[in-house]
Amino acid sequence: MSFLEYRLKTVPTGASKILHVNWALVILLTAVASVGFLMLYSVAGGRMEVWAEPQIKRFLLGLAVMFAVAFVPIWFWRNMAGLAYAGSLLLLLAVEFFGSVGMGAQRWIELGPLRLQPSELAKVTLVMLLAAYYDWLDIRKTSHPLWVLIPVILILLPTALVLTQPDLGTALLLMTGGAVVMFCAGVSWYYFGAVAALLGGTVTAVFASRGTTWQLLKDYQYRRIDTFLDPSGDPLGAGYHISQAKIALGSGGWAGRGFMQGTQSRLNFLPEKHTDFIFTTLAEEFGFIGAFSLLMLYTLVLAFCVASAIQNKDRFASLVTLGIAATFFFYFAVNMLMVMGLAPVVGVPLPLVSYGGSSMLVLLAAFGLVQSAHIHRPR
Amino acid sequence: MRRSARDTEESARKITRRGLFLGGSMAAVVAVLGARMRHMQVDQADEFRLLAEDNRISIRLVPPARGQIYDRNGKLIAGNEQNYRVVISRDDAGNVEDVLNRLSGILPISDEDFERALKEARRRSPLPIIVADRLTWDDVSKVAINAPALPGVSPEVGLSRTYPRDTDFAHVVGYVGPVSDRDLEKLEEPDPLLQTPKFQIGKIGVETWMEDALRGKAGSRRVEVNAVGRVMRELGRQEGDAGADIRLTIDADVQNYVQARLGEESAAAVVMDVQNGDLLAIVSSPSFDPNLFVRGISHTDYNALTENDHRPLANKSVQGAYPPGSTFKMVTALAALEAGVINTSSSVSCPGHYEVGGRRFHCWKRGGHGRVALDRALSESCDVYFYDIAMKVGIDKIAEMGRKLGLGIRHDIPMSAITEGLMPDKAWKKERYQQDWRIGDTVNASIGQGYVLTSPLQLAVMTARLASGRAISPRLIHSIADQPAAVDPGAELGLDPQFLQAVHQGMYAVSNNQRGTAYSSRIDDKSLKMAGKTGTSQVRNISAAERARGVISNADLPWNRRDHALFVAFAPYDNPRYAVSVVVEHGGGGSTAAAPIGRDILLRAMSDGIPPLTAYPAAQRNRIDTMHRKLELRDADGKMPESSRA
């Protein structure tokens, strides 16, 4: 179905949209963010003003953005998809030239008082564009090579720009997010099989290129891979972060060491304890119960999204919802895998929990799209 | 574009299928995450908890206070002083160089210290770096006032070793210094304390020989540290045991008197209690200030000490091995008497020389002594008498007597580099030089020349044994932690009292008979009479040609070719209490250079304070009084008089 076929009368209008908001999802997101506030308060040594307070303000702002996006009909957003994609590409290019350097990579751009990370934005706009593309495309052409090539190029454009920053983590999230939309849209399994084979080849090439003139990754990225493969090899150097993170996580035990009692974070053994490694503090202070509860909250968010997407008969709405759910999933899954020593340290924040403005705002705006799709679903 | 209903249906079904597949995949990953969490946080929790504790808890040693060293009367010789220092913590300082620059505006920091602190800062050790040591309270308060401009800088209080009677005990007690790699190599299982920064151990003397008792046992502090090693809080503390205090047999005031009396001479003197072996004073001159070594001696000061031809760093009283000269004659006499080859009244005619084996050996008195028996032979120090009796008794008997009296053996007191001296006999020469003992060797040995070497300590022991007739051994440690050290009363030497008496009489005559070699150094007080023996030992050979020309007098020789002057004595004669030995390197004659010192020292040991002038011969009293006034002696607290500090 397309929006032209909507029986528009059945779609809620005006203030009545509030009643159709997926409130359970709002509550879940607030709960996840609250876990973040609590942990940011803890890692700041019991001070609100350092991280927790700005984070709360940003969350409230993000919530407002989410509702604003949610109340705009989903078909408007579909029409905006191309523009949004083009805009985020431009911003990525701007970062190339005017961006601020942080952590050895160009990632931010200063827009007045706002510090924007366009790569975060690109994740959502890419999903929007691909969803719009498959909404437009004749279903029977979905697996036609030419019509597969177009979305692949659309994915690779922002990915390439992000890789040059260089930000391996975001690049991976962009590709997987885009791939998920393609997959859900019904692109043939064979393509995914081929890509998987290609990836295997690339990985081999990456390792083979190491130390040669055509080296494909930066040295620090190779070192991260080494560290990932054998963190104990260099416990005081490159492997230090991951070893300390694992110690913090494991030492939490069943019920944790108590709020603000985590020695690993309090004594600064943990790196980036308010951003990428915040999950380890949660796991240390609240133990398995705390860490697993957060995982369940995330899973519920996913479940609501998937349920909403499947129920929705609008093709764009379904694909956008699934794409955003998948992006959200990749965020927390990669972050958790990373701090638990199952994935290399690539610098992916824990969604809605890690301290950081761009990802929080962008994610909440993305959930605004999910809400909009939910509110304006064909009935 | 409108789609057919069939396409729409198909599309929705596909999205549902793929969406569910996606959801399932995500659920699978979530399951993996949950399982991993459970594995780490439940199954491996104890392991990780242990690692976390290991991370945060660090055991720091608390150095114990070092045992103090006192003299026999409880006067402090080596103590611990509170010492203010300024440390800088690299973490808190930010730019260490900046802070150091600001600090050097307030404190006197040498360029050397500045560089060292910078270097340590670059090493990124989490321990605080000591920037300046031994600061005055004023300096510390200046740092405190300027604290806001000096991030990471904080004053600290520590204990450091101090020697209030500095030069007097440099050789006896020694000094402490930082632990060197060589110190560590020597130990099989070094006390972990030795690796704590700025820890000091004994380097020489009592400080090093009694190290185990003095060091004490380290306490420990369990502290919580952060990732860069900074101490966040103390979790627990276990106090260590302070080192044991040691009391020496030395009388600090007598020691001080002897040190002052030796003055600038390159000399050594030992005062010993003949009844129990207690060393009352054991002095080597010139001395040095051990406090310089504790603080880290400058190159200039150190070079001044090593280049001085009077060798201040050498502990001559136990390390110095000198030919005993005529002070050895009692050994020769007793050996002959005990062997029965002479009796106390046997006499020998001295024409001024003695011929044996085709060689002529001279008496110090060119004209000779005429006919002499033991008493005059000792009092006038006739060499020929001893040449003659030595020929009769033989070197092996003499060496045996020497060893019986404590020569040629190492006396074990807790001091560094104690020499064994040398008491030669036939077997020794055979082994050492693969040569037979010659008659001339015996002649030389009979008057303490040739191969015989003794230390001032050995000479004091010899005199004490002669005075008591018992095998007295020197004792330096009076008590450890108030536990008195054992006193060895000394077994009887088994010498015939009659022979000992004869030797005593001869020694008495040395300083009481008008013709005695030390008559001018007699004691007038009847109850304190002294018996002694002078000695003058050559450090050069006098050739026949020189002898023919006339032996050059000491005064005309360069200092380092002059004879050593020696003197040994005990007193009071009637009831011997103290034995003394004095060696003045290149001092000239024993009767003029060593005997007066020996007498003054003995009188000081027997008196309470400066000896009364009535003890001295009337004619010398003015001179002695002047000399005593000039001596710069310490007051009761061990401080030097004001005049000497200027």
Q: What is the pLDDT of residue B558?
A: 85
Q: How far apart, in whole angstroms, are the C-alpha atoms of residue A269 and residue A275?
A: 14
Report whether A379 contacts A7 (CB < 8 A).
yes
Average pLDDT, integer, range B50-60: 84
A263 reaches B (C-beta below 8 A): yes
Tell me if residue B312 falls in helix, strand or coil. coil
Residues 6+ apart with CB under 8 A from A345: A224, A227, A228, A241, A242, A276, A338
B contacts of A342 (beta carbons < 8 Å): 32, 36
B contacts of A250 (beta carbons < 8 Å): 40-41, 44-45, 47-49, 51
Closest CB to B41: pick one of A183, A250, A315: A250
Among B232, B248, B264, give the residue marking a domain's end: B248
- The rounded percent of chain B whose pLDDT value lies above 90 is 55
Give the A:B interface size as CB pairs under 8 Å.
151
With respect to residue B200, please indicate whether it lies within any of the assigned structural domains. yes
Structure tokens given for B413: 């007191």
Q: Tens of pLDDT along B409-448?
A: 999 899 988 999 999 999 999 999 999 999 999 999 999 9
Instruction: List, as ranges, residues 53-92 from A with C-beta within 8 Å of B.
Output: none
Q: Are residues B334 and B223 in the same domain?
A: no
Res. A238: pLDDT tops 60: no
Q: What is the pLDDT of residue B125?
A: 64
Q: What is the CA radius of gyration of chain A?
A: 21
Which chain B residue is nearest to residue A257, measuring alpha carbons? B49
List the single best residue of B8, B26, B54 to mutate versus A (max A Cβ within 10 A). Answer: B26
Taking CB atoms and an 8 Å limit, are A267 and B51 in contact across chains? Answer: no
Q: Tens of pLDDT along B465-506?
A: 999 999 999 999 999 999 998 888 888 999 999 999 999 999
**How far apart are the CA of B28 and the nearest CA of chain A, in angstroms?**
11
Q: Where do we find the tokens 């050498």?
A: B314
With respect to residue B626, please indicate whether it lies within any of the assigned structural domains. yes
Cα-Cα-Cα-Cα dihedral sign, residues B96, B99, B101, B104: negative
A22 reaches B (C-beta below 8 A): no
Q: Are residues B509 and B582 in the same domain?
A: yes
Q: What is the CA radius of gyration of chain B?
A: 37
Taking CB atoms and an 8 Å limit, are A288 and B37 in contact across chains? Answer: yes
Q: Are residues B236 and B256 in the same domain?
A: no
With respect to residue B35, please indicate whether it lies within any of the assigned structural domains. no
Residues recorded for chain B: 646
Q: How far apart, in whole angstroms, are the C-alpha atoms of residue B594 and residue B258?
A: 12
Amino acid at B78: A
Tell me the pLDDT of chain B averaged across its residues.
88
Q: Are residues B92 and B200 in the same domain?
A: yes
Tell me the pLDDT of chain A averaged across its residues.
86
Structure tokens given for A11: 């779609």
Q: Are residues B148 and B183 in the same domain?
A: yes
A137 reaches B (C-beta below 8 A): no
Res. B128: pLDDT tops 80: no
pLDDT level of residue A228 (50, 70, 90 thresholds) = low
Exposed, middle or buried: residue A116 (CB in 10 Å: 0-12, 13-18, 19+)?
A: buried
Q: What is the pLDDT of residue A232?
A: 61
With respect to residue B225, please indicate whether it lies within any of the assigned structural domains. yes
Taking CB atoms and an 8 Å limit, are A253 and B49 in contact across chains? Answer: yes
Which chain A residue is nearest to residue B15, measuring alpha carbons? A184
Closest CB to A287: pick one of B3, B41, B47: B41
* Count of Cβ atoms closer than 10 Å to residue B137 Cβ: 9
pLDDT level of residue B1 (50, 70, 90 thresholds) = very low
pLDDT level of residue B138 (50, 70, 90 thresholds) = confident
pLDDT level of residue A4 (50, 70, 90 thresholds) = low
Taking CB atoms and an 8 Å limit, are A268 and B8 in contact across chains? Answer: no
Closest to B90 (Cα-Cα) out of B62, B120, B57:
B120
Report whether A124 contacts A325 (CB < 8 A).
no
Amino acid at B645: R
List the single best residue of B41, B49, B226 to mutate versus A (max A Cβ within 10 A). Answer: B41
Torsion of CA B547, B548, B554, B555, to 10 degrees: -170
Q: Which region, left, alpha or beta, applies to residue A258 given φ > 0 means left and ψ of -120 to 50 means alpha?
A: left
Average pLDDT, integer, range A202-216: 81
Q: How far apart, in whole angstroms, are the C-alpha atoms of residue B503 and residue B343?
A: 11
Burial B156-167 (b: 16+ CB within 10 A, else e): eebebbbbbbbb
Alpha helices in A101-188 (DSSP H): 118-136, 145-163, 168-185
Angle, helices A168-185 vs A145-163, to 10°: value is: 160
Which chain A residue is nearest to residue B16, measuring alpha carbons? A310
Taking CB atoms and an 8 Å limit, are B227 and A268 in contact across chains? Answer: yes
Question: DSSP code of B299?
Answer: H
- The rounded percent of chain A whose pLDDT value lies above 90 is 47
Q: Tens of pLDDT along B294-334?
A: 877 888 889 999 999 889 999 999 999 999 999 999 999 99
**How far apart are the CA of B19 and the nearest CA of chain A, in angstroms?**
6
Res. A1: pLDDT tops 50: no
Q: Are residues B441 and B519 in the same domain?
A: yes
pLDDT level of residue B645 (50, 70, 90 thresholds) = very low
Tell me the C-alpha to C-alpha distance, in Å, between residue B323 and each of B327, B331, B540: 9, 14, 11
Closest CB to A247: pick one of B32, B48, B228: B48
**Residue A272 vs residue A197, higher pLDDT:** A197
Closest CB to B19: pick one of A249, A269, A309: A309
Q: Are residues B117 and B239 in the same domain?
A: yes
Alpha helices in B363-412 (DSSP H): 374-379, 383-393, 395-404
Q: Are residues B279 and B228 in the same domain?
A: no
Among B225, B248, B271, give the residue marking a domain's end: B248
Tell me, what's the ipTM? 0.91
A311 reaches B (C-beta below 8 A): no
Q: Tens of pLDDT along A91-112?
A: 898 888 776 655 555 566 666 5
* Catalytic choice (B89, B285, B287, B326): B326
**Residue A220 vs residue A360, higher pLDDT:** A360
B contacts of A264 (beta carbons < 8 Å): 52, 55-56
* Count of Cβ atoms closer than 10 Å to residue B496 Cβ: 14
With respect to residue B26, please indicate whether it lies within any of the assigned structural domains. no
Question: DSSP code of B128?
Answer: P
Average pLDDT, integer, range B52-67: 85
Among B230, B248, B266, give the residue marking a domain's end: B248
Which chain A residue is nearest to residue B43, measuring alpha carbons? A253
With respect to residue B291, please indicate whether it lies within any of the assigned structural domains. yes
Q: Which region, left, alpha or beta, applies to residue B528 given φ > 0 means left and ψ of -120 to 50 means alpha?
A: alpha
A182 reaches B (C-beta below 8 A): no
End-to-end CA distance of chain B: 112
A186 reaches B (C-beta below 8 A): yes
Number of structural domains chain B divides into: 2
Query: Would you list the DSSP string of B415-469?
Result: -SS----B---HHHHHHHHS----HHHHHHHHTT-TT-BB-HHHHHHHHHHHHHS
Active site residue B220: no
Cα-Cα-Cα-Cα dihedral sign, residues A50, A53, A55, A61: negative
Domain at B382, CATH number: 3.40.710.10
Q: What is the pLDDT of residue A90?
A: 92
Which H or E element spans position B483? Answer: strand B483-484
Amino acid at B180: S
Give residue B585's Cα distance to chain centre. Answer: 20
Q: Are residues B296 and B233 in the same domain?
A: no
Closest to B11 (Cα-Cα) out of A97, A317, A100, A313:
A313
Residues 6+ apart with CB under 8 A from A189: none
Q: Are residues B210 and B295 in the same domain?
A: no
Q: Are residues B429 and B331 in the same domain?
A: yes
Q: What is the pLDDT of residue B127?
A: 67
With respect to residue B9, please indicate whether it lies within any of the assigned structural domains. no
Closest to A184 (Cα-Cα) out of A228, A134, A145, A138:
A134
Average pLDDT, integer, range B135-163: 82
Instruction: List, as ranges, residues 196-225 from A with C-beta within 8 Å of B.
Output: none
Domain at B110, CATH number: 3.90.1310.10
Average pLDDT, integer, range B218-229: 80
**How far apart are the CA of A182 and the nearest CA of chain B, in angstroms?**
10
Q: What is the largest CA-CA distance in chain A?
A: 65
With respect to residue B18, please indicate whether it lies within any of the assigned structural domains. no
Q: Are residues B240 and B269 in the same domain?
A: no
Question: Whole domain around residue B152: which residue ranges?
Answer: 58-248
Which H or E element spans position A264? Answer: helix A263-266
Q: How far apart, in whole angstroms, are the C-alpha atoms of residue A91 and residue A85?
A: 10
Q: How far apart, in whole angstroms, are the C-alpha atoms of residue A56 and residue B214?
A: 62
